[in-house]
Chain A
């Protein structure tokens, strides 16, 4: 099994890593690493800062770490901390959002430089070069140039080539929020506009719609906001006030009915037993509050689906754990070690016959000491200890 199939099999084939960048671009690897959460190793998602030490994590990552960990401390430096020290890191979030878009471009650029260099070396070495791959490579570098051009000058002409480019390279990326496919060069605007429907590449009138969104989108939003007084937060266009974080609950003071009520309040399922209710509600609070640290929070429905997935994984894990425990049960071990035990018992009996003092003197006689030193050397103590006890009884 190779790396790709291992990743593909688990559906984790879209992982990115600093090592995506060619080795000769070490600075880009470093840059990539600094924009990743040290816990999930992914690019920061809703990054937060611990006011107690200054380390940054994804909001959900550090919240989970504080919840699951035995001690409330920074995962990176072990400085004691608590959830109230979690602060939004808006600057970092903006950097990461911008970097996500830039990464694709820089990556293909870097790869292109490397492959050009390699080709040049191959030609120097007198290797026969087929023209075909060369053309392909050149095309891909042209695409990069196009992408870069597009960011600078958005003319009618470049719009045509944009459609072409998108069709050729299929440069579509998944929006991290609505998970719809969006052209790579649209992704920033798409996110800024709270995920509008995107015209698929190749659609007639796509350019116009895009321009309308680019120009009209923010303006329309502004005027809509002007109607509401005061609220400076850019959440969605609903008129409700910005949601507040949920408070933690100490469940042991509550009755079953009250815990159920908590679940109902949040629109969560009430399946399972009391332990599951509490775990579900506690996890919901963590996920909900982490979501609020994002400048573009997910819809609550999506969050509920995440919670459901989390719970299913938990259940699967518990089942596996049970299976594991039953796999190493003592009966199975006893059976598999049957002849070993039998041998030991026979040995012990023989030695007990040879030296009747064993029963009375126990540890002080020669033979048991021999055995016990053997035990010390190979501390399968429980099994062997059990076998040793038999001769005095029989």
Chain B
């Protein structure tokens, strides 16, 4: 599975310049890392408002940290949530593991940050990407699925938006500056 996808030629300009250098590490890059590289580039280039993600360290492309900003007009407006993303080796055929690192009071998020979202479970498809996940999570914040709650209290409270917002702010912790 590994190098079948690394086949596309390095025809981009930077690659042309370095074409005469030994390229052993390029050979070592598997299709997973290649796809993650592709996604990273797509994320950086397309400026989707309110979402971002980047690998935790340059030693490991399989663990990312992302941020999601609440959409204006929802109780999560102006709040910024940190999430962790772990990619399995058979990604994208299996969904990544995603958790809220910032405590998030939400009907579909439990207090450990686990998320109940169909596209991360049985509705996952290999064509989805980090970008689609982050966008889905962003819209999940404002439009919870109260029929299958992980946090039942939050689901019950949802109808009372003022009180709900109070709870959201009570649980919220701003992302530390060094993150």
Residues in chain A within 8 A of chain B (CB atoms):
1, 3, 5-7, 9-17, 19-20, 38-43, 45-46, 58, 60-61, 64-65, 67-70, 75-76, 78, 100-101, 103-104, 107-108, 111, 169-177, 179, 181, 184, 187, 283, 286-287, 290-291, 298, 302, 305-307, 309-310, 313-314, 316-317, 321, 376-380
Contacts and interface: CB of A to CB of B under 8 A. Distances in A.
Interface centre among B2, B13, B14, B122 (most CB of A within 10 A): B2
Given A39-B127, A174-B23, A3 B40 contact: yes
Contacts of B29: 10-12, 14
Max chain A C-beta neighbours (<10 A), residue from B5, B11, B127: B11
Contacts of A19: 41-42, 45-46
Given A170-B17, A379-B110, A313 B2 contact: yes
B1 interface: yes
A1 B58 contact: yes
A170 B19 contact: yes
Q: In the complex, which of the residues A11, A13, A376 has the most CB atoms of chain B within 10 Å of its own CB atom?
A: A11
A43 B26 CA distance: 16
Given A17-B41, A317-B90, 17 more contacts: A6-B58, A9-B58, A10-B33, A10-B36, A13-B37, A16-B11, A17-B42, A41-B129, A42-B34, A60-B5, A69-B93, A173-B19, A181-B20, A286-B1, A309-B2, A314-B89, A321-B88
A15 B9 CA distance: 9
B7 interface: yes
A176 B8 CA distance: 6
Nearest to A315: B89
A293 B2 CA distance: 17
Chain B contact residues (Cβ within 8 angstroms of A): what range? 35 or more
Contacts of A287: 1, 4
Q: Quick one: which of A13, A176, A287 has the most chain B CB within 10 A?
A: A13
B108 interface: no
A291 B25 CA distance: 23
A15 B127 contact: no
7 contacts: A7-B40, A14-B15, A15-B38, A19-B46, A65-B93, A101-B11, A174-B9
A11 B10 CA distance: 12
Given A6-B54, A10-B37, A12-B36, A313 B30 contact: yes
A376 B153 contact: yes
A99 to B, nearest CB: 10
B111 interface: yes
Contacts of A306: 1-4
A13 B15 CA distance: 8
